[in-house]
Amino acid sequence: MHEISDFLDAGDAKSAAMALAELHPSDIADLLEQADEDRRELLIALLRPQFDAEILAYLSIDLRDEVVERLEPKALAAAVAELDTDDAIDVIQDLDEDAQQSILSNLPPEARALVEEGLTYPEYSAGRLMGRQFVSVPEFWTVGGLLDYLRAAATSDKSELPEQFYDIFVVDPMHRVIGSVPLSRVLRAKRGVKLADILHEDIHRIPVTMDQEEVARLFRNYGLVSAPVVDKGGRLLGVITVDDVVDVIEEEAEADMLAMGGVGEDDLYRAVLSTARSRFRWLAFNVVTALISATVINQFTTTIAHVVALAALMPIVASMGGNAGTQALTVAVRALATKELTTSNAARVIGKEVLVGLMNGMALAGIVGGITYFWFGHSIIGLVIAGAMIINLICAGLFGGLIPFLLDRMKIDPAVASGVFLTMITDVVGFLSFLGLATLFLL
Amino acid sequence: MHEISDFLDAGDAKSAAMALAELHPSDIADLLEQADEDRRELLIALLRPQFDAEILAYLSIDLRDEVVERLEPKALAAAVAELDTDDAIDVIQDLDEDAQQSILSNLPPEARALVEEGLTYPEYSAGRLMGRQFVSVPEFWTVGGLLDYLRAAATSDKSELPEQFYDIFVVDPMHRVIGSVPLSRVLRAKRGVKLADILHEDIHRIPVTMDQEEVARLFRNYGLVSAPVVDKGGRLLGVITVDDVVDVIEEEAEADMLAMGGVGEDDLYRAVLSTARSRFRWLAFNVVTALISATVINQFTTTIAHVVALAALMPIVASMGGNAGTQALTVAVRALATKELTTSNAARVIGKEVLVGLMNGMALAGIVGGITYFWFGHSIIGLVIAGAMIINLICAGLFGGLIPFLLDRMKIDPAVASGVFLTMITDVVGFLSFLGLATLFLL
């Protein structure tokens, strides 16, 4: 990959194009992502004559739009038509409306029908993930019959065998899934063995509308490599393979992490203006909560004017509450995502957070109270900050666990929204308890 | 799974045990994780007679220790001996020293040797992940010969065939990997075809010392299902399959997210005291940074005593800087984890963050400055907070991008350490710029 940069630096486009042709689509996607804008334009120009649409599947969404814009609609459609239906859907679904239509209208009718049908399934559902090519055979077949069928299909021109497959699906005459046979089982069996005798019946049939997160959990929990996707009647519609699921797992984990940090997807490749705009929404929310805290503090100006040291100390209480709350919140958000936090153990988990808050609150109260006492030589201020610290850390534990749980029950993504509410609470409680106690005991 | 709770509630241990025996190990692990302590004890007692060590592989680490303690060392060793070597290593490596030794000393000599050999590879390396059972055959074999071999091996008692496999590895007489043949390719080929003619030579050989994160990236980028692990001489040592990699991907993403939230692994199942203690370290760090901010504010007590409103407003500047910085930081940490942020584009990425900071800083300056002006009816305070906001958001963008990058270059995990440094900077710069400008223009 480095040599391509070298070739381009040297202006040797021909060698660069040859080296590009040798690369795996995911490596080309990496190259495009690493490049600055000029370099990217150059690379796309080199790729254009024989563009492999699989590159798009590996690109982050913003870059995908950019690359699609730079390609001819017809050439692009031709490239997309080469993809498996599930990959084609994956590439098309995230493009903007115009780009989608321009590709769809240039696709061959058959591929277009398959893609359009796939797009009718809800976003993030099994229907969008599944491949339409699979091997399904009737129950009464033998291993020998299966082998003959596969060998014949492989040499036939109109073969509908997928490039790679891991399980043979056994279906009844209504095309309902009876079971599956892993290939390694087929290979071990003698020709005369009936598939009915070696199939696994106890397999995971994935409803076509199942959410992709749920699909990923099934694959992970049961170590699946491929699984049949079925309609309501149990009929085989498609197959999800583990490579699709690996992407889902990465995406879901990434989405949660970015959401908790207050950013949307794919931020790295967006232009400055659009990044700033998308992040601004989160900041605007936070301005509101910061103003609420300011209002709280503003109620205590008499107290602060009386003992100015309070102004220096009050952010400590608020920020330690925020930190402790974020710890509880992170654990809760993650546990909700992995379905480890449920209604059945919520009270226990949140109760534990309150206790943890109490314990760390007491520990910090001792430390910060002591430092304050030595710093300002004023024992009451030390006691006030210690008391406020304990109050705020208990609240931090309580709400750090409770907020994500409640949001989740209200079908709001806890990763996105929990942070704002939590900070508001720990700031308000922090300032209120500290300045309130100070007003009581110092004035 | 619900019925088991019902049986236990009704005191019907026998039915509960029978229902448990029907469950997949991962479901039993879920059940143990959801249960409170009494229920867990009961469940373990029911599982003990025929304990499936695979349950341990699905349990979070803290619970694993708890369960291991409640089992007899001999029964446990017998259960572990039933596992594949890679699963046995996975289970054993995270146990504490005593538990490890007690299992190892009770394992059959052969299994023990394999596990101990596995434990000699560095933690988180390919050597720990790989399975030792695989199908490797010489290059000159035909498809027919392979099928005969597999069928014979399947019926032999001393079969070393893995339960599941996805690729046949073709090796030379020195046991070096020449290539691999996916099973779906074997099935399509006629008996007379030579393996040498259908093998993929251009495969990804994984060095046994490769870090598991790197392994996961290879699997993900190239859609692998299994890959050979080789020693320095290219000789086949083992095979990594995608189900192991799925766990790695989940773990790595989870570890980063938890680290950014200031928590260690597996927090949900730890006892209160041990959770509080593990989280305290992070909080103690933050006390130091909070005290540094307090010291900064404390330099400006004269200014604050003069205009007490400043005390109410100053946390706004600091917290907005923290929020904007966290956005930049989250993107950078994630991009470092996925190797999308590298030295070649670092200047560009960080430069963009500075620009985004400038733009959102100006937008917030307008909003917060305006609100302040109307609130306190004091135009200079409005201008001071606006100026401080711009300064702090530029710093937030700069350091939010720069800190993770520098830590990564210094081989420090950016997910763990970036947050503390960033908050320190945005707090200090926030208070310093706001109170500094106020001192200049208001006194």
Instruction: Count how many pairs of residues, chain A against chain B, have C-beta atoms within 8 Å.
Output: 324
Nearest to B164 by CA among A246, A180, A229: A180
Q: What is the mean pLDDT of residues B357-383?
A: 96
Q: What is the pLDDT of residue B211?
A: 94
Question: For B253, which of A147, A190, A254 is closest by C-beta distance?
Answer: A254
| Residue B173: alpha-carbon gap to chain centroid | 39
Tell me whether residues B183 and A189 touch, CB distance under 8 A. no
Nearest to B385 by CA among B400, B397, B399, B375: B375
Nearest to A435 by CA among A396, A384, A401: A384
Q: SS3 string of A264-296? A: CCCHHHCCHHHHHHHHHHHHHHHHHHHHHHHHH
In this structure, the strands spanning B136-138 and A177-182 are: unpaired
Question: Could you tell me the pLDDT band of residue B41, with boundaries at 50, 70 and 90?
Answer: confident
Q: Give the SS3 label for residue A55.
A: helix
Burial pattern B337-357, b for ≥16 Cβ within 10 A else e, equals bbebbeeebbeebbebbbbbb
Q: What is the pLDDT of residue B1?
A: 65
Q: How many angstroms separate the CA of residue A192 from the nearest CA in chain B?
A: 12
pLDDT in tens, A363-408: 999 999 999 999 999 999 999 999 999 999 999 999 999 999 999 9
What is the DSSP track for B172-224?
-TT-BEEEEEEHHHHHHS-TT-BHHHH-B-S--PEETT-BHHHHHHHHHHHT-
**Which residues on adjacent β-strands are paired with residue A332?**
none
Tell me whether residues B221 and A26 touch, CB distance under 8 A. yes
What is the DSSP track for A77-98?
HHHHHTS-HHHHHHHHHTS-HH
Tell me whether residues A166 and B147 touch, CB distance under 8 A. no
pLDDT in tens, B291-339: 999 999 999 999 999 999 999 999 999 999 999 999 999 999 988 988 8
Contacts of A291 in chain B (CB under 8 A): 316, 371
Q: What is the pLDDT of residue B265?
A: 66
pLDDT higher than threshold 80 for residue A267: no
Q: What is the mean pLDDT of residues A20-36?
A: 87
Contacts of B263 in chain A (CB under 8 A): 327, 330-331
- Cβ proximity of B400 and B328 under 8 Å: yes
Nearest C-alpha in B relative to A334: B254
Look up the CATH architecture of domain B136-241.
Roll (3.10)
Which one of A55, A281, A297 would you mutate to disrupt binding with B, by most B Cβ within 10 Å of its Cβ? A297
**Which residues on adjacent β-strands are paired with residue B177?**
B171
Q: What is the mean pLDDT of residues B204-229?
A: 93
- Cβ proximity of A366 and A423 under 8 Å: no
Question: For B316, which of A253, A291, A355 is closest by C-beta distance?
Answer: A291
Contacts of A359 in chain B (CB under 8 A): 272-273, 276
Tell me whether residues B290 and A320 touch, CB distance under 8 A. yes
B364: left (phi over 0), alpha (psi -120 to 50) or beta: alpha
- Range A2-120 has CATH code 1.25.60.10: yes
pLDDT higher than threshold 80 for residue B266: no
Q: What is the pLDDT of residue A170?
A: 96
Contacts of B261 in chain A (CB under 8 A): 260, 326-327, 329-331
pLDDT in tens, A140-155: 999 999 999 999 988 8
Domain boundaries, chain B: 2-120, 136-241, 271-442
Q: Give the SS3 label for residue B300.
A: coil
Tell me whether residues B334 and A258 touch, CB distance under 8 A. yes
Contacts of A431 in chain B (CB under 8 A): 315
Question: Could you tell me the pLDDT band of residue A77, with boundaries at 50, 70 and 90?
Answer: confident
pLDDT higher than threshold 90 for residue A73: no
Question: For B262, which of A33, A326, A371 is closest by C-beta distance?
Answer: A326
Distances (CA, A) of B389 to A318, B325, B374: 20, 12, 17
Tell me whether residues B309 and A301 touch, CB distance under 8 A. yes
Distances (CA, A) of A207 to A130, A214, A266, A390, B147: 11, 11, 29, 49, 35
Which one of A55, A87, A147 would you mutate to disrupt binding with B, by most B Cβ within 10 Å of its Cβ? A147
**The CATH number of the domain covering residues in B271-442:** 1.10.357.20
pLDDT higher than threshold 70 for residue B17: yes
Q: Tell me how crowded residue B143 is: count the other CB atoms within 10 A of its CB.
A: 24
Tell me whether residues B352 and A275 touch, CB distance under 8 A. yes
CB neighbours of A405 closer than 8 A, spacing ≥ 6?
A332, A336, A341, A346, A350, A414
pLDDT in tens, B71-102: 888 888 888 888 888 888 888 887 888 888 88
Nearest to B212 by CA among B252, B166, B239: B252
Question: For A150, which of B187, B260, B286 is closest by C-beta distance?
Answer: B187
Fold entry, domain A136-243 = CBS-domain (3.10.580)
| Structure letter (DSSP) for residue B10 | T
Q: What is the mean pLDDT of residues B235-246?
A: 92
pLDDT higher than threshold 90 for residue A169: yes
Question: Could you tell me the pLDDT band of residue B103, with boundaries at 50, 70 and 90?
Answer: confident
Q: How many angstroms separate the CA of residue A166 from the nearest CA in chain B?
A: 7
Start-to-end C-alpha separation, chain A: 70
